[in-house]
Amino acid sequence: MTHLLAARWLFGMSLAFHIVFAAIGVAMPLLMVIAELRWRRTGEPAALELSRRWAKGVAVLFAVGAVSGTVISFELGLLWPRFMAFAGPIIGMPFSLEGFAFFAEAIFLGIFLYGRDRVSPRLHLASGILVAVAGAASAFFVTLANAWMNHPAGFQLLAGQAGEIDPVAAMFPAGWGEQVLHVLISSYAATAFAVAGIHAFHLRRTPGDPFHRTALATVLPVAMAAALLQPISGDLSARRIAVTQPVKLAALEGHFKTQRRAPLRVGGFPDVATGTTPGAIELPAGLSLLAFHDPDAEVRGLEDFPRERWPDPLKVHLAFEVMVALGSGLAALSLTAGVLWWRRRSLPTQPALLRALTWAAPAGFLALEAGWLVTEWGRQPFVVWGVLRTADAVTPVGGLEVPLVTFAVLYVFLALVTATVLRRMIRQTSAAGRSARGWSP
């Protein structure tokens, strides 16, 4: 394993682990607040117990996310010192603001957890809302930094150094809105479907349980709304990429030759040697239509760009296909659940739907991970697009294989401990649900 590859594996592994907890930190507080609002509106014991239990889950996952996020902050400086030296003066502001959002989330989460009987009901509810807002704000600021890495702005490159820095312009580069929207919606979809799957599983075992019915009725609308909005945000992101990073679009679509009425390729395995994508199903003019809303539009292919600026089309295309397939599946499931709910005028609990929701529980997070790989692999070989290559940003310190193995073991251990704690909490939640009787959505 090369020095550069070891650094990328180490940092990528840390991000892949942390992104799950980051997404939960964005979405789970919203679910917690919705349950609290439901209890205040209806007085249902199940909704109150749900709010309490979800708040405890948020606290556990927030703690693990804080640990993994701290590791990433150190790795940024230790693994990628030139990137931090170059980018720090330009995009230091969103990183600092993310820190403020993180601390705000921790403070208000403490008030929500321990202040239920110690502060006024309005203040208690307000603290929960602020936890949800701070969680979303944290993701917002981090995504702004990533958007800048994909489309650097707010500075002039003078003799290889950044000058005439405008930090506000750097915070809001072209495409920041589409990327932020896509990240937030994906966080809500992934988390809501995971929670819905857990309660659907328990409803299959104990049909009619009021606690799990309340939970599913609370979380399913969020999952459905996010999954149905996700393709729209994905379309906006893809159209932005077509303008700002055409080589990335060509890689993720397995598109080698510049042409009008470019076909949309579904599946397949891009082959750099032959400049083709064998096994793909081609939809005539589909790519031109999706990228530019014009079936006759010209789409630039990989062969239009220097070979050394290509991302790996095989990896990017496969990750993109996985993301789209999972996202489309969740949208179809959401549409089905919505139709069933509308027809029955009550929470749909058909065994087939509950089974589908159970199996779909991890799909949102798998799509989230695949989408992150599309973003990061698609930017290669640059860490800052068109300005700083990844190979030039890596630390000269060797022996990275040792921390790679060490952190791999650490993350497996943390994952097992977290899963054990959450499993115990879910069992306690199920037991508590059996005592919360007398309500049916």
Q: Give DSSP secondary structure letters for 2-53.
A: -HHHHHHHHHHHHHHHHHHHHHHHHHHHHHHHHHHHHHHHH--HHHHHHHHH
Instruction: Label residues 113-130 b or e (16+ Cβ within 10 Å = b).
Output: beebeeeeeeebbbbbbb
- 266 bridge partner residues: 281
CA separation for the pair 395, 404 (Å, rounded) = 14
Helices (H), 175-285: 176-205, 210-244, 246-252
Does the pLDDT value for residue 353 go beyond 60? yes
Query: Which pLDDT score is estimated for 439?
Result: 42
Average pLDDT over the chain, rounded to whole? 90
Give residue 269's identity as a one-letter amino acid code: F
Q: How confident is the model at residue 402 (pLDDT cuts 50, 70, 90)?
A: confident
67 is written with which tokens?
């640990």
Name 368's Cβ contacts closer than 8 Å, sequence gap at least 6: 19, 20, 23, 186, 187, 190
Query: Which pLDDT score is estimated for 438?
Result: 44
Average pLDDT over residues 271-284: 92
Q: How confident is the model at residue 408 (pLDDT cuts 50, 70, 90)?
A: confident
CA separation for the pair 259, 24 (Å, rounded) = 42
How many Cα atoms sit within 13 Å of 440 on the Cβ side? Answer: 7
C-beta separation of 333 from 162 below 8 A: no
CA separation for the pair 223, 195 (Å, rounded) = 9
Does the pLDDT value for residue 12 go beyond 50? yes
Average pLDDT over residues 85-111: 91
Q: How confident is the model at residue 300 (pLDDT cuts 50, 70, 90)?
A: very high
Q: How confident is the model at residue 405 (pLDDT cuts 50, 70, 90)?
A: confident
Does the pLDDT value for residue 299 go beyond 90? yes
Q: How far is CA 79 from CA 3, 269, 382, in A?
A: 11, 32, 15
CA separation for the pair 174, 236 (Å, rounded) = 12
**Own/partner pairs for 265-270, CB < 8 Å, 24+ apart?**
266/321, 267/321, 268/317, 269/314, 269/317, 269/318, 270/313, 270/314, 270/317
Does the pLDDT value for residue 437 go beyond 50? no
Query: Which pLDDT score is estimated for 162?
Result: 81
Query: Which pLDDT score is estimated for 170?
Result: 93
What percent helix, strand, coil does the chain show, rounded to 5? Answer: 75, 5, 20
CA separation for the pair 152, 146 (Å, rounded) = 9
Looking at residue 276, what DSSP letter applies?
Answer: B
pTM above 0.95, yes or no: no
Average pLDDT over residues 54-70: 86
359 is written with which tokens?
């199996």
Does the pLDDT value for residue 434 go beyond 60? no
C-beta separation of 368 from 186 below 8 A: yes
* % of the chain exceeding 90 in pLDDT: 62
C-beta separation of 388 from 218 below 8 A: no
CA separation for the pair 244, 146 (Å, rounded) = 14
Does the pLDDT value for residue 157 go beyond 90? no
Instruction: Tell me how crowded residue 325 is: count the other CB atoms within 10 A of its CB.
Output: 16
CA-only gyration radius of the chain, Å: 23
Give residue 370's identity as a one-letter amino acid code: A
Does the pLDDT value for residue 433 go beyond 60? no
